[in-house]
A and B are shown apart, each in its own frame.
Chain A
Amino acid sequence: MLRGRELHPLPSAYEADEQLLLFPAIQAFISTRILVVQPIFVKEYFNSVLLLNMNLKELQRKAFEEAENIEKKEHLESFRIKYLGRKGELTNILRSLKDLPVDERKSVGVDANKLKIELEQIVAFKEKEIGSLGEESVIDITRPGKKVNLGHLHPLTKIEEEIRNIFTSLNFSVVEGPELETEYFNFDALNIPASHPARDMWDTFWLKEGGKAKERRLMRTHTSPVQIRFMETHKPPFQIIVPGRVFRYEATDASHEINFYQLEGLMVGQNISLANFKFIVETFFKKLFGKNIEFRFRPSYFPFTEPSVEVDIKFPTKGRGDWLEVLGAGMVHPRVFESAHLNPRDIQGFAFGVGIDRLAMIKYKIPDIRLFYSGDLRFINQF
């Protein structure tokens, strides 16, 4: 039997052919053999079929219908004998041709032979089809099913995919950027000056550079540099998310890692407001964690947003009653727009950053961030 997958490429025009629709297997068979590849030929073919004398036409209809219902080898053999055997119905017609006048013999003969070839092909096709079904036998169907080895996606991939799906459903595009960054994109362009303690908010891994290095490089401490990189090359309005690996120079423990994943969000337009941010971020968290979670928005400080806020969430269920700090955000600082050569007079928007590892830990109740980077399949295969 043909699978749905192979049926897809069939042009709809043929599906509308009622006669063919009566016999799906035959239709499919003919389609693959003849119809699809040479549609013009098909029309002519059917026209000529219509011109055949009633016997031949009726025979074809009957044979096709019967063929469709054949499910067993024995039935196929009797079908073959019935039409193509020495005393078969079609054989009889072919044999009777010699009695016809030359003209008719030619026209009917061609069609009859065509039908013969077709029926032979149907028999061959059916033979394969039946053969593939295997022998009928009795097994103990209560035995355990055979093991199928499927792989497992990393939980961070799973949650990132979920997050991506939520945001693409909210019309956000997904963009990525380099992990090895310059000091400029990671700090200066984001209004984080050198020799300022604001930089201490991001403990940084610096690259050992040769004497010739023009600019200091570092492992990006957040996904925010992609804000600049994206805005330098795109005109607002836009809304993007940027998932990616980031790095912090800090001692590792159950909730700190030297590399982890962050998701940056950026929405810029003529009148994108802080109230819009609240809508987007609440929608996001409700989709991720369920619509009953509670929110708390607090003022905060980030050099690249003004005003800045922090978002806490709380689960309604008992035992998870604490406020969890999950996200930092704010309205894009005018100096950040300027860094990206955009005029802050014309545009406004919000940006946010959220730790993907942390969300995964909350969602899957994972107690230790280090498990994500352990490469331990006993952990990964749970997801």
Chain B
Amino acid sequence: MKFSYSLLKKLVPGIPSKEKFADVINLKAFEVEEATGNSMEIKITPNRFADAASHWGMALEAAAIFNLKTKLDDKPLNIPKGKGKVRVVVENKHACPVYVAHYLEVVKIGETPAWIKSVLEDCGLRPINPVVDIMNYVMLETGQPLHAFDADKLDGSIVVRFAKQGEKIVSLDNHSYTLTKEDLVIADKSGALAIAGIKGGKRAEVDKNTKRIIVEAANFNQANIYKTMKRIALQTDASMRFSRGLSPYSASIGANRASGLLKEVIKAKVVDSLVVAGKLPGKEIIEFNTDKFNSLIGLSLGKKQAADYLKSLGFKIITKALKNKNSFLVEVPPLRQDVTIFEDLAEEVVRLYGVNDLKPTPPLVGLVPVESDDIVNLKKELRTILVGFGFSEVYNYSFVDKKEADSLELMNPIAEDKKYLRVSLSHGLKSNITLNAREFATLRIFEIGKVFSTKNEEARFALGVKEPEAMLHLKGIISQLLKRLGLTDILMKDESNNSLTIKSDGVVLGVAHSLNSNSAIAELNLDALLKIVIAENEYRPLSKYPSISRDISLVVPRDIKVGQVLEVIDDVNLNHIQNVDLIDYFDNFEDDKSRLSLTFRLVFRSEEKTLTDEEVDKEFKKVEAALVSKIRAVIR
């Protein structure tokens, strides 16, 4: 929000130079984002609009921070009331807790004085005419948005009501808005005059011939204004303030100041006034316990010191003895709507003390063992292994353009190609492979991340490989990887010609796809893996007896798959078998493409004794017999 440094200087004479002022405000109150010329951009946090989105509010802050006095024109005015010149009906007091109307008569509108114009310009507002300019100026001073109607253009009483569905209004700047039953309007018999708290309408606009003015200073329900502002996408100085919540007590303050200025600047005469109000909030009184404060902040302030900080900000200290000697009662100023509990007061005290000056103190707590989520450790281990295998890690977007059967869709996607939540990581890895293929002849990449479906959210990891015999490398990598993670029983079963399911202990962990002869992708479920990973390896005795290897070479028809051969060998239930490895694969046996030559190495070892050749031969013969009978292999 823009502030005028010269107006602040006028309200709090004695504040330091703009730069110094900005530095200190930054450390004690609000972030000063930019300070060019006479104009300062100060970021008012959403909770402080009620009191600080105004020069008076900022002046009070500055006075407290720099220990100075303010000079505000906030003396109450003697204003006539109840003369019947203005009539207001508020249909919903929840939506509009306070409506203040002042009725003024003007002879000649004239010109806006330079001192008002310069403040408006510092704050980024364009001068229009003296009445409108004063409304804006008072908003900048007091934070209360105001509106002026030409009383002669009104048709009967002013009514604050919800719009009719489809009701239309043309704004001051000639935009037409169609309203709903949820939008609050200021209306008369002929229809809407203004979108309450957001924008004035064209019809009752004040112009240079205006002779009678009604100044409106109202308070509107924050949520109502917020919703309408969002729906019609119209952010104005007024809606910005109302949508964050203003104090109902601001309305009279604003109306008073406006009438005072109209009187002073354009010699207007205040003829009548009216206040329509529901029950306003009572005084907020909070107990401040100095011990509790010191414990929360890590300080040792005295009771008086804390009270002084609060007093400087306009809080009243109630002198009343409390049970707890280190406590006192604090009355919150009516505009400080953000202060409702002790912790809010604590913030006021500590920021004036200076968070920056607080001494960092190591916490005194009992040691507890660090217990991180298992998935955190698993991911770490996974990454270590994969990097060792030559995999580089990519991060892809969680949103994709591809819709699957169980995809979740965003209500408000940011782009057409980011409409759906990813159901798999593979999709992203495929694009990564394509993208990087231009630069890299071979690739190994992985991603760890969440995927989403109508069923659940799941942690996954995916591997992408681009290199000759990609699928076989990928299979080897997956086995080693899973073994490293502690799995012993790993099964990869072909589901189709180019995809395998990966299982362990009967749990499906994921799938591997061969995309083409030199690229393949696998995707595994981390949550499922986590459940079966054996956290700690157990030592198995090293065999003290030697192993004996036997190679078996066979020729089979081309359509027999290695998986089938391995299954046959597996089914034999060999004694003392330790390992079966395919050590040679030749798919063009004796220049015959219909035959496949395979060599397997069988390793035998006993845990109890040194095996004899006879024992091994006996087992080996069983394998030969099975291969011959079951898949009609020719043993070479």
- Whether A276 contacts B298 by the Cβ 8 Å rule is yes
Tell me, yes or no, whether B355 is within 8 Å of chain A by CB. yes
What is the CA–CA distance of A375 and B361 in the complex, to the nearest angstrom?
42
Q: When the two chains form the complex, which single residue of A150, A178, A308 contacts B457, counting CB atoms closer than 8 Å?
A: A178
- Is the C-beta of A176 less than 8 angstroms from some C-beta in chain B? yes
Chain B CB within 10 A, most for which of A151, A175, A176: A151
Given contacts A197-B46, A297-B355, contact A273 B373 (CB under 8 A): no
**CB proximity to B under 8 Å, residues A143-202:** 149-154, 156-157, 161, 164, 168, 171-176, 178-180, 194-198, 200-201
Q: Is the CB of A151 within 8 A of B391?
A: yes
Residue of B nearest to A300 (CB): B45
Determine the residue in chain B with the shortest Cβ distance to A198. B46
Question: A236: shortest Cβ distance to chain B, in Å?
Answer: 10
A156 touches B395 (CB 8 A): yes
The verdict on A306 contacting chain B, using a C-beta distance below 8 Å, is: yes
The answer to whether B443 and A174 touch across the interface, beta carbons within 8 angstroms, is no
Q: Chain B interface: which of A12-20, A75-83, A103-111, A277-285? A: A277-285
Residues 320-358 of chain A, each 1 if its beta carbon lies under 8 Å from chain B, else 0: 000000000001011000000000000010000000000
Partner of A195, one of B27, B223, B387, B418: B223
- Does B412 touch A at the CB level, under 8 Å? yes
Task: From the candidates B46, B356, B392, name the one contacting A201 in the complex (CB within 8 A).
Answer: B46
Do B355 and A309 touch across chains, with their CB atoms under 8 A apart? yes
Residues from chain A with a CB closer than 8 A to the CB of B356 are 295-298
- Give min CB distance, B348 to chain A, whole Å: 8
Question: Could you say which interface size class chain A belongs to?
Answer: 35 or more
How many angstroms between the C-alpha atoms of A375 and B392 in the bound complex?
10
Fill in one digit per residue for B484-502: 1 if any A CB lies within 8 Å of its CB, else 0: 0000000000000000000
Q: Is the CB of A377 within 8 A of B392?
A: yes
Chain A nearest CB from B43 CB (Å) reads: 9
A23 within 8 A of B: no
Q: Distance (Å) between the CB of A212 and the closest chain B CB?
A: 12
B370 near A150 (CB under 8 angstroms)? no
In this assembly, does B26 line the interface, its C-beta being within 8 Å of a C-beta of chain A? yes
Q: Mark A237-266, 1 if CB is under 8 A from B, else 0.
A: 111000001010111000000110000000
Q: State whether A245 touches B412 (Cβ < 8 A).
A: no
- B367 touching A151, Cβ below 8 Å: no
Do B432 and A375 touch across chains, with their CB atoms under 8 A apart? Answer: yes
B452→A180 contact, CB < 8 A? yes
Q: Tell me whether B542 is interfacial, beta carbon within 8 Å.
A: yes
- In the assembled complex, how far is the CB of residue B559 from the closest CB belonging to chain A, in whole angstroms? 35
CB atoms of B295 and A258 under 8 A apart: no
Please tell me if the beta carbons of B46 and A306 are within 8 angstroms of each other in the complex.
Answer: no
Asked if A174 and B376 sit within 8 Å, CB to CB, the answer is: yes
Q: Fill in one digit per residue for B373-384: 1 if any A CB lies within 8 Å of its CB, else 0.
A: 101100010010
Q: Indicate if B48 sits at the interface (CB-CB under 8 A).
A: yes
Given contacts A206-B411, A306-B343, contact A168 B372 (CB under 8 A): yes
A258 to B372 Cα, complex, angstroms: 28
Quick check: A151 and B387 within 8 Å, CB to CB? yes
Interface pair A176/B375, CB less than 8 Å apart: yes
Evaluate contact between A206 and B410: CB separation under 8 angstroms.
Answer: yes
**B166 in the interface (beta carbon within 8 A):** no
Whether B410 lies near A205 (C-beta < 8 A) is: yes
B130 within 8 A of A: no
Mask, B338-358, CB within 8 Å of A = 1, is 000101101100110001101
Give the Cβ gap from B535 to chain A, nearest Cβ, in Å: 16
Q: Are A249 and B390 in contact (CB under 8 A)?
A: no
Q: Which A41-55 residues have a C-beta within 8 angstroms of B?
A: none
Closest to A30 in B: B544
Partner of B539, one of A9, A151, A245, A348: A9
Within 8 A of A (CB), among B402-416: 408-414
CA distance A247 to B397 in the complex (A): 10
Docked Cα-Cα span, A156 to B435, in Å, equals 20
Contact pattern, A 195-227, Cβ under 8 Å of B = 1, otherwise 0: 111101100011111000000000100000000
Q: Return B485 CB to nearest CB of chain A, in Å.
A: 17
Residue of B at shortest CB range from A260? B395
B46 touches A151 (CB 8 A): no
Give the distance to chain B from A362, nearest Cβ to Cβ, in Å.
18
- A250 contact set on B, CB distance < 8 A: 414
Q: Which residue of B26, B449, B539 has the most chain A CB atoms within 10 A of its CB atom?
A: B26
Asked if A89 is an interface residue, CB under 8 A from chain B, the answer is no
Name 15 extra pairs, CB < 8 A, besides A205-B413, A307-B343, A375-B428: A151-B386, A151-B388, A174-B372, A197-B244, A219-B398, A275-B358, A276-B363, A278-B360, A279-B360, A296-B27, A300-B45, A301-B46, A334-B341, A375-B395, A377-B443
Chain A to chain B: the 6 pairs with minimum beta-carbon distance, closest first: A275-B298, A273-B298, A307-B347, A301-B45, A195-B223, A174-B372
Spell out B's residues near A (CB within 8 Å): 26-31, 45-48, 222-223, 226-227, 243-244, 295-299, 341, 343-344, 346-347, 350-351, 355-356, 358-368, 370-373, 375-376, 380, 383, 386-399, 408-414, 418, 421, 428, 431-432, 435-436, 439-440, 443-446, 449-450, 452, 457, 539, 541-542, 544
- Of the A-B pairs whose beta carbons lie under 8 Å apart in the complex, a sample of 10, sorted by A's number, is A151-B446, A154-B393, A175-B376, A195-B227, A198-B46, A209-B411, A273-B297, A275-B360, A310-B31, A375-B395
